[in-house]
Structure 1
Amino acid sequence: MDTPRAIQTLGILGAGRYGTVLARLAVSAGLRVLVARSGDPAPIAQRVRAIGATAGSTTAVIEGSDAVILALPLGNYRMLPAEALRGKLVIDAMNYWWASDGIRDDLNDPRNSTSELVQAHLEGARVVKALSHMGYQDLEDEPRPRGAAGRKAIAIAGDDPDDVAIVAALVDELGFDPVHAGPLAAGIMLEPGAEAFGADVDAAQLRTMLDGFWNSQRGIIVARARRSSGS
């Protein structure tokens, strides 16, 4: 007997290119998908319906989903409804990008991963970093069945083993091999400036990138900053 899916309805906050690609992949995997944008969902309803998903308000998407992916500009993370997301499995697919977020030293501090900032804001939510380091075009073009030759990999960082396992199963359903990067703090290895950011590689290659992070220029900067702060 097949094990029931831990995630049957997936919510996505963000209806831009990345959120739309994630929605399309999830629909193709047989999941029920709910999508929200900032504000009235009506402008995206037809486009979302065309890919087999359903548009809704942020509140309705959160309430109706087993897990929620954050596919918004990272600079908006403080606008996320912390109380509504309390207790929810939240998959952080956001990254700091100066072109859209502006120059923000608080989003580029090597002492913390940006997912830790998100977790601090979403007190009580269960934040896991995933689906964040591969470009949306590669994400759209590269899904393959489990065991297929050349299958690409997606890294996951999270503190709770059960939540990491749930997200790993989702990544696998979407068509990619999951690779555990470590705790949520290890999400910094998936951010801009790290070798894994933008990587479109298989699991073995991604594992090598992650294992080599602390010897990289970015890794040395992060390690030095964390030592100086006692992190």
Structure 2
Amino acid sequence: MPLLRIISQLILPVVRSTKGNIMKVSIIGPGGIGGVVATLAARCGHEVILTNSRGTATLEDQVRTLGPNARAASLADAVQAADIVVLAMPLTALSRLPAKDFDGRIIIDMMNYYPMRESQIAVLDDGEMTSAEMVQRELPGARVIKALNNQDAPHLLLNAGTGSALPVAGDDAEAKESVAAFLRDLGYETIDAGMLRDSWRMEPGAPIYVWPYAPALPGGMDPLSDDAKVFYVTTAGIPVTRQAARALLDQAKRPARIGGFPEDLPPTWVAVVANWQEVERLSREMEARP
């Protein structure tokens, strides 16, 4: 998404891994929000490996933009090389992954269940398991951690380094700490959100999902106006402290209706997603103003 590249060039300093522990981070589905993770990881010195279903040639421009810390690879090579694998593709693509290739790998599951996009998934609709538990079921040998799923793409980028805390859930304590360390490198504090079975507290519709990290529009601004859209995608939210994040997790109640729905999101963000290209044009115009 070019708009996110514009924002990243404006606001992100070049930094290095806070612990000097350079990791190989493979991102499956590096468009949109996966691209934000790629940008942040490359900026702090990690080796970023991009892969998608359309082939490495389609990733050349993105690799060039990310710089010398990034490269593209086949899915098999990306998974084999990785210290951490980030799943940023649609949830429906999960069943097409070669499960054995992921055995022993630390997985960050940043996917979310949106029935209008994925169609209905019975085990999720019935509350039989969380989406992260479903990922673990499909990749039984992997070390699945739920993280990086509860912000929209612009604010995962804009809020990095502001002191905000993000929830991390998982059944493997060592893998959870590795993911938490990676998130700290990206510019986030972390809070333990429990096991994979508890990760519904950070799924779409939960109190900690998107809204707390989004900026409040200036008084009187029409949330569907062009000004609001540009303001939304270029303005960081108020930092969500670890204490505030804990309170949001504790407030969560398991909803009767599972999954994400447009009415659960900030209206301005829904409008941005519906007309992303127009917002890109407006943002370029804003950037060009003296």
Q: Percent of aligned positions with the same letter in both sequences? A: 33
Deviation digits for residues 88-135 of structure 1, max 9, x if unmatched?
A: 111101001234313333443323110101101101111010111111
- Using a 3 Å threshold, how does the CA distance of structure 1 residues 107 and 16 change in structure 2: closer, same or farther? farther
Runs of 4 or more consecutive aligned structure 1 residues displaced over 3 Å after TM superposition: 103-109
Bigger shift: residues 121-130 or 94-103: 94-103
- Counterpart of 2:249 in structure 1 is 210
Number of residue pairs the alignment of both structures matches:
212
TM-score, normalized by length of structure 2? 0.69
Residue 43 (structure 1) shift: 1.0
Letter in 2 for 1:19: G
8 Å CA contact 2:23, 2:83 repeated in 1: yes
Which structure would you say has the larger Rg? 2
Q: 1:161 aligns with which of 148, 170, 173?
A: 173
Deviation digits for residues 57-103 of structure 1, max 9, x if unmatched?
A: 11111111111000011122111210111111111010012343133
- Using a 3 Å threshold, how does the CA distance of structure 1 residues 121 and 217 change in structure 2: closer, same or farther? closer
Q: 1:94 aligns with which of 97, 102, 111?
A: 111
8 Å CA contact 2:125, 2:257 repeated in 1: no
- Counterpart of 1:17 in structure 2 is 32
Residue 184 (structure 1) shift: 1.0
Deviation digits for residues 132-160 of structure 1, max 9, x if unmatched?
A: 1111110010111xxxxx51111100111
8 Å CA contact 1:156, 1:179 repeated in 2: yes
1:39 aligns with 2:51: no
- Counterpart of 2:205 in structure 1 is 193
Residue 49 (structure 1) shift: 2.4
Residue 48 (structure 1) shift: 2.4
- Counterpart of 1:134 in structure 2 is 151
TM-score, normalized by length of structure 1? 0.85
- Counterpart of 1:70 in structure 2 is 87
- Counterpart of 2:187 in structure 1 is 175
Q: 1:83 aligns with which of 100, 108, 125?
A: 100
Cα distance in 1 for partners of 2:75, 2:125 equals: 27
- Using a 3 Å threshold, how does the CA distance of structure 1 residues 106 and 75 change in structure 2: closer, same or farther? farther
1:124 aligns with 2:141: yes
Letter in 2 for 1:202: T
- Counterpart of 1:225 in structure 2 is none
8 Å CA contact 1:49, 1:55 repeated in 2: no
Alignment gaps of 5+ in structure 1: 145-149, 223-231
Bigger shift: residues 51-60 or 179-188: 51-60
- Counterpart of 1:184 in structure 2 is 196
1:50 aligns with 2:65: yes
Cα distance in 2 for partners of 1:49, 1:63 equals: 23
Cα distance in 1 for partners of 2:126, 2:96 equals: 20
Cα distance in 1 for partners of 2:248, 2:170 equals: 18
- Counterpart of 1:111 in structure 2 is 128
Letter in 1 for 2:249: L
